[in-house]
Chain A
C-alpha cells in the first residue's frame, strides 16, 4: 500500500508531531518502506482466527472501588513545566 506525503502530514497532525518541510520527504519514504514490509500480512488467510490482544489471553482484572493511594498533588506538580495554584498552565485556549 503506497502512502502519499499528504497522508503522512495527516498522520503527523493526528500524532501531534510537527514535521519540518525539509524532513517530510525522507519521513514519507521511510514509512512507505515500513508499510511495504508489513504488507505481506495481507496475503495470510486469517478467516476465523480470533485476534490476540494479550499473550496469555488474560482479561482485565478489576479491583474494588476503594481509595488505596494518598493525594500527592504537590509531589507530582513539582516536576511539571508550569503550574499555578495547583493547576497546570498551558497557553491560552479561549480568547
Chain B
C-alpha cells in the first residue's frame, strides 16, 4: 500500500481494491512504527484522519468522489488547519489552534483528501536543515545522522520514509527543492502567485510560495491540479489561467532547449554531485533536448540580495507575534513593553531573532536606501538575467544544491555557511520563477537533486521534462533501508 503512487492510490480507491480507511490506517501505522527515527511529524490526529477517511469512503461508494478523495496528505506545519495545532516549528505558536483553514488546505479538503498530519520544519521556515525547529530536527531517511534539508524537511522525510504518499511544502529560498534533493524525492515550487498564500504563516511575502512534494513529477502534477488557482482572498494570487498539469506529462522533449548556467557548475559544486547532474543531462539530451551553455552574471549577488529582502520582509511579518492576540505570552509581564519584548525573546529561536534584527536594521531610518532599496534594484538585475536566458532556452537546468545532505550539527553554529546551501535556489524566488528538484543519482548513498527552472507559469513544461526523465530512470523509485521496516 505504502509503495503506491498517488495516481495508483486514486485508481485503487475508485476500483474499490482498498478503502481510504485502509490506506489511511496503513500510513498511520507506519508513522507510529517508524517516525521515532525521522521526527518528521509534529502533530498527528489519528482519530480525525480515520474519521475523514470514513467520510471519503462513503463518497467513493456513492459516486460523489473528487480528484483526491480518500488520499492521505501530510501538510507542512505552516498551513493553518482549522482546529488542528499549527506551530510553524516555533515555541511562539506551540499553543496555536487556528480557527480557519489556509486556502490550500481548503482546496485539498474540497478535493476530498484526508489530512494525515502536520510535518516538522525549520522555525518559521527559516533554515536549510530543519535544525531550527522547536520540536527538534527531522532526520534524513537515507541516513538518520544527516539532515533532511529545510525548511520543509519534515515533509521531505515523511515522503522519503514512505510515511505519506505526498506532502505540501513552502519555498521562500529553496525550502521545497533543497529538502527534496536531500531526501531523494520530487518537489515543485510554482511561479510566485500560482498557489494562494492565504493562511500560510508569512515569512517573506514577495518570495513565499507553496507547492507539492511527492515521489514523482506525475504525483506533483496531480497535487498541483488541486493547489493552483486564483484566490480572491490573496491579493498577490495570480489570475492567470491554470492548466491540467497531468495532460502534457508525456510530451516529447524533441527540440527542447536546456540552458546550463556556467555559474551553477563552477567552483563550490561537489565533483561527484556534478557528475550525477551531467549524467542526468545526457539522458535529457538522449531524448532530443539540446544543451546550451549560458550565463547568469549576477548569480554571485543572490545570497546577499536575498539576505536583505527576506529578513526585511520577515521582520515586518513577524511583528504580529506580540503575546496579545494568540500564541505564546511570557509569564508575569511587569508592563506592556516587558510583555512584548520578553514574549518575543522567549517565543522565538535564535535564527528567527537574528533575521528579525537584520531585517529591522535594513529597514531602519538612514539605512533603507543602502540596504533594502539596493537589494530590490539588484533583484531586478538578477531577474533580467533569467529573462535574457529564456529568450534562447525553454528550461534552465543545474544542481539543486552544491552537494548532498550534510551531518546534523555540521553547520548549525555558522549561519553564513548554512546560507550558502541555497546558492542555486534563491534566485528562482527572487525572480518569482517556477523551479523543481528531482532525484538524479546518489553520492555515497546520499541522494542528488537535479534542478529545473522555467519561465513564469511554465509548471506544465517543467513537470513534463521531469516526468520524461523519470520514465527513463528509476532514481525516484529507490527506497531507503530505514523505510523498509514497519508493520506492512
Contacts and interface: CB of A to CB of B under 8 A. Distances in A.
B106 to A, nearest CB: 14
B379 interface: yes
A63 to B, nearest CB: 7
Contacts of B317: none
Interface in B365-403: 370-371, 373-381, 383
Interface stretch (B49-57, B109-117, B333-341): B333-341
Contact of A34 (B97, B341, B416, B429): B416
A52 interface: yes
Contact of A35 (B98, B324, B340, B361): B361
A14 B360 contact: yes
A40 B378 contact: no
The CB with the most chain A CB atoms within 10 A, among B327, B345, B456, is that of: B345
B325 A58 contact: no
Interface string A1-19: 0010001100111111111
A75 interface: yes
Interface stretch (B20-28, B253-261, B286-294, B350-358): B350-358
B324 A90 contact: yes
Interface stretch (B137-145, B165-173, B302-310): B302-310
Given A17-B344, A42-B374, A11 B360 contact: yes
A33 B416 contact: yes
Among B315, B335, B377, B379, the one with the most A-chain Cβ atoms within 10 Å of its Cβ is B377
A56 B192 contact: yes
Interface stretch (B38-46, B221-229, B230-238): B230-238
A56 B193 contact: yes
Contacts, number: 166
B483 interface: no
A75 B99 contact: yes
A41 B378 contact: yes
Q: Taking each of A42, A58, A80, which has the highest tally of chain B beta carbons within 10 Å of its own beta carbon? A: A58
Nearest to B369: A51
Contacts of B333: 91
Nearest to B235: A61
B326 interface: yes
Contacts of B327: 81
Contacts of A52: 376-377, 379-380, 383
B206 A18 contact: no
B431 A55 contact: yes
Instruction: Give the residue among A7, A15, A30, A58 with the most B Cβ atoms within 10 A.
Output: A15
A49 to B, nearest CB: 4
B380 A18 contact: no
B411 interface: no
B373 A38 contact: no
B203 interface: no
A71 interface: no
Nearest to B372: A51
Given A8-B357, A33-B416, A44-B301, A49 B308 contact: no
B345 A38 contact: no
Contact of B339 (A58, A80, A90): A90
A55 B171 CA distance: 15
A37 interface: yes
Contacts of B356: 15, 17
B364 interface: yes
A53 B376 contact: yes
A53 B375 contact: no
A31 B325 contact: no
A40 B376 CA distance: 14
A49 B379 CA distance: 10
Interface of B: 95-99, 191-193, 206-207, 232, 235-236, 238, 300-301, 303-305, 307-308, 315, 319, 322-327, 329, 333-342, 344-345, 348, 353-354, 356-358, 360-361, 364, 370-371, 373-381, 383, 415-416, 419, 429-433, 456
Interface of A: 3, 7-8, 11-20, 27, 30-31, 33-35, 37-42, 44, 46, 49-56, 58, 60-61, 63, 72, 75-76, 78-82, 88, 90-93
23 contacts: A3-B361, A7-B361, A11-B360, A15-B315, A16-B340, A16-B344, A17-B345, A30-B415, A39-B304, A40-B304, A41-B371, A49-B381, A51-B377, A53-B376, A55-B383, A56-B191, A56-B192, A60-B235, A76-B99, A79-B98, A81-B324, A90-B324, A91-B333
Interchain residue pairs A-B with the least CB separation, the first 4: A55-B432, A51-B376, A46-B377, A81-B329
